[in-house]
Amino acid sequence: MTNDMSIADDNAPFNHWLKTGLRALFNDVVREPIPENLLRIITEAEPEVRSPASDLDAKTPPAAKRPVNAATG
Distance CA 52, CA 12 (A): 37
pLDDT one-digit tens code per residue, 18-47: 999 999 999 999 999 999 999 999 888 876
> Is residue 18, in this structure, part of any structural domain at all?
yes
> Is residue 69, in this structure, part of any structural domain at all?
no
> Is residue 1, in this structure, part of any structural domain at all?
no
Arithmetic mean of pLDDT, 60-69: 50
Higher-confidence position of 20 and 65: 20
pLDDT score, position 45 = 85
Query: Structural domain of residue 35, as residue ranges?
Result: 13-45
Number of structural domains, the chain?
1
Higher-confidence position of 11 and 48: 11
